[in-house]
Structure 1
Amino acid sequence: MNIFRHRPLGLLAPALLIAVAGCSTADDTSGTVAVPRPDAKTAPLCRNLHQVLPGKVDGQRRADPRPRSDYTAGWGNPAIILRCGIVRPPKMIDPKVAQGDDPNAIAGGVDGVDWLMEKQGDGTWRFTTAGRRAYVQVLLPKKLSGPDDSAQVLSDLAAAVRKAVPTGLASMTG
């Protein structure tokens, strides 16, 4: 079931106000990121996405993390991190999220791309595409703390996601 089909996109503005209280990558200082292992159907979509990603996001220049991969990208330092071909987040099938009863997971959309916004244990947030044939995850560094920051990041990435990752059901395994 697509949890976003019945969720109003008007939830995005309040969600972004909550979400930007502090966003971070798993390790802002290492410059390394766990590389996803997408399946055979997902990998070409992620490689296509890698080719069309913008050179700047939220005014930050592209600075891809290590190890270099067609499944990861980054901008700035500390980096905004994108990972394509991740495994479906468990919250995407959680009935509490679908009903709007989980304050740590909120559905919303930006510029034609639906996102699951999840609050992490350390208070940061991650964003994962929904309703696309590949799961694309975006992690923001703590320095992006204003409501316009996360909205701008997702807006800057939306055209590339729409172009490279068609709508539909993603593989459960990435």
Structure 2
Amino acid sequence: MTLSRRRPLLVLSAVAVLAAAGCSSSDATAKVAVPSPPAQERAACETLDKLLPDTVAGQKRHDPAPDSPLTARWGDGDAEIVLRCGIPRGEEMNDPKSNGVQVNGVWWVLFPRSEGPRFVTAYRDPYIELLTGTRYAHDASVLQAFGAPVLKATKSL
């Protein structure tokens, strides 16, 4: 199935997709790099920031430093969830073997990491990245909280 003119995306069930993710603890003290998107993308990210929930997967929001509407954070350690909005489209998005999942109307591409899964929105402008802790290595439900805000604040490609 081809989901875009740019690249095919292998669609698997959330369980199968996340089963490929590794398991180890995340570094809760890591600094969060703030993206530098163009003005139009920045405006969409600022809108998204206002729509993001206070709680995701039972984790309360406590934004990282430096304070920016382009980043958000929930939880700590293995339950950490970090959002970065306005990231550049990385070369890894061109891999036709990338695993993806659609949750609440948003396509996400999965990039397994030892610290926990990394998800990047597909077919949305601007691109959004979620870095999750190992607690979510086999659980795509963390993505549910982002469907409505992402659809409302971003545009389809």
TM-score range, shorter chain: 0.7 to 0.9
Partner Cα separation in structure 2 for residue 88 and residue 38 of structure 1: 11
Q: CA deviation at 1:46?
A: 0.4
Structure with the larger strand share? 2
Are 1:50 and 2:43 matched, yes or no?
no
Q: Which runs of 5+ in 2 are unaligned?
A: none
Are 1:84 and 2:75 matched, yes or no?
no
Are 1:113 and 2:109 matched, yes or no?
no
Partner Cα separation in structure 2 for residue 34 and residue 124 of structure 1: 18
Q: Which runs of 5+ in 1 are unaligned?
A: 169-174
Partner Cα separation in structure 2 for residue 65 and residue 76 of structure 1: 11
Q: What is the aligned counterpart of 2:152 among 146, 160, 163? A: 163
Q: Tell me, yes or no, if the aligned pair for 1:23 and 1:145 is still in contact at 8 Å.
A: no
Q: Map of 1:68-147 to 2, 5 A cutoff?
A: 68-78=67-77, 79-93=80-94, 97-98=95-96, 100=97, 105-120=98-113, 122=114, 124-142=116-134, 144-145=135-136, 147=138
- Matched with 1:154 is 143
The alignment's C-alpha RMSD in Å is 2.0
Q: CA deviation at 1:29?
A: 2.2
SS at match of 2:124: coil
For normalisation by structure 1, the TM-score amounts to 0.77
Partner Cα separation in structure 1 for residue 120 and residue 67 of structure 2: 21
Partner Cα separation in structure 2 for residue 158 and residue 33 of structure 1: 22
The runs of 4+ residues in structure 1 deviating greater than 6 Å are none
Q: CA deviation at 1:11?
A: 4.0
Count matched residues.
151
Letter in 2 for 1:152: S
Partner Cα separation in structure 2 for residue 36 and residue 51 of structure 1: 17
